[in-house]
Amino acid sequence: MASDQEDDEFLGFSDDEGDGSSTDSDSGDERVAVEDNAVPLNAHQYGDMEQFQQVPDLNELAQDFPNEDGTTSANSANSQVVPHLFDLNTPQIDESETSPYHQTPTPINIGHHKPGKPRLTVGLKLEILIFLLRRKKPGLEKLIKGTITEAAIKYDYTPRTIGSIWNKARRQKEAMQTYDMSTNFHKCGRKRKEVPYEQIVVIAMGDRTCIIDLARMLNLGPTTVWRLIKRKVLKAHSSPLCPGISETCKMTRMRWVLRLIMDYSIPHDPTYYGMYDFIHIDEKWFYLTQKSQRVYLGNNEPKPHRIGKSRTKIPKFMFMAAVARPRWGDDGNCEFDGKWGIFPFTNSVAAKRTSKNRVKGTIETKPVKSVNQIATRDMMINKLIPAIKEK
């Protein structure tokens, strides 16, 4: 009994009879007291719930509603308890829509221009000024009421910006000056690095082959030199190695060009020959194949496999190409395209011995080892002249 009494004291229960035992009448009295007083029960007041102990109905608990001043008042014993009933099978009502509290909406400033608005250009300022001058009161330096707002809506700028343009123009007119809408925005910020032209040209060519070397010679950073290139202060140039022509060769070329002028046209209207009886020939080396060749294949087409004895020793052949001036008829049609042909410097030689690729005596095409004056003369006599006669 002592242990039961200690447990009751620990749990907060009291015994009307004082014998430490819990009877049905005691539990019934407690249940009636809870129902009469309608006081919420908290778990921290009563500790752990024992088996068969009745839990109060939460639907019958009083609901505290906020007053107009935002405070809540507890229901007195004489006030009527309003039960809050709900059904779990019905969807819950969103309390945010019917909230008793007043919520102030966030104001949206519609009149102000959007951030990141582009800066006014001189042309746009003059356009706005002309718009304002057309709405000026006759004989007065004042605008018609609402002109600033109308211009702000039309050009999508704030009235303060439009007003500053009008005030600046009015001050210029009072000072007997012309309307000048230019801005000083280009004068702000860090000043650019300026490199004199004389400081660049005195540097040797070998000391300015790259940006780093040129920056070191100018005592600047590589990024600064790169900005000078973007600003067109400096420019890159690839210097090719040209063949040297002596003065004698230059004079010979000049005489040949002057001899092409027709004699009867020299005094008044110098005119060159039509050059319809000229054939231009040129030699060009071509490799038999290339190390890498780009081709476009179909979706499922197999990749080509090319092989050779060596990638560094690819056979090459020299070709002679001959062209002339095209001929056009009176009707505008091309009668001759001017292409005589392209001819390779090759020889047909019989194989000296048998191999796995061919038998002895098979005719093979071999390139001419040395293309000299004799080979060129033989090509013109045996290939070029017969092609000209044929056409």
pLDDT tens digits, the chain, 391 residues: what are they? 555 555 555 555 555 444 444 444 444 444 444 444 444 444 444 444 454 555 455 454 444 545 555 555 444 444 455 555 556 666 655 555 554 444 555 555 555 545 567 788 888 999 999 999 998 888 888 898 999 999 999 998 999 999 999 999 999 988 888 888 888 777 788 888 889 999 999 999 999 999 999 999 999 999 999 999 999 999 999 988 988 889 999 999 999 999 999 888 888 888 988 888 899 999 999 998 888 989 999 989 999 999 888 888 898 899 999 999 999 988 989 988 999 999 999 999 999 999 988 999 999 988 898 899 999 999 999 999 999 998 7
Cβ atoms 108, 123 nearer than 8 A: no
Element (H, E) at 170: helix 159-174
Q: Strand runs (DSSP E) across the chain, as ranges?
A: 279-287, 316-324, 327-328, 334-336, 339-344, 346-350, 363-367
Structure-block tokens of residue 356: 């796995």
The CA distance from 76 to 61, in Å, is 13
CA angle, 352 as apex, 346 and 356 as ends, to 5°? 100
Whole-angstrom distance, CA of residue 301 vs CA of residue 23: 97
Residue 166 contacts residue 172 (beta carbons within 8 Å): no
In the chain, DSSP finds a helix count (H) and a strand count (E) of 12, 7
Q: Which residue has the tokens 């509290």?
A: 101
Residue 83: the pLDDT is 54
Q: Buried b vs exposed e over 93-114: b needs ≥16 C-beta within 10 Å?
A: eeeeeeeeeeeeeeeeeeeeee
Contact 286, 316 (CB under 8 A): yes
Burial letters 37-73, b for 16+ CB under 10 A, else e = eeeeeeeeeeeeeeeeeeeeeeeebbeeeeeeeeeee
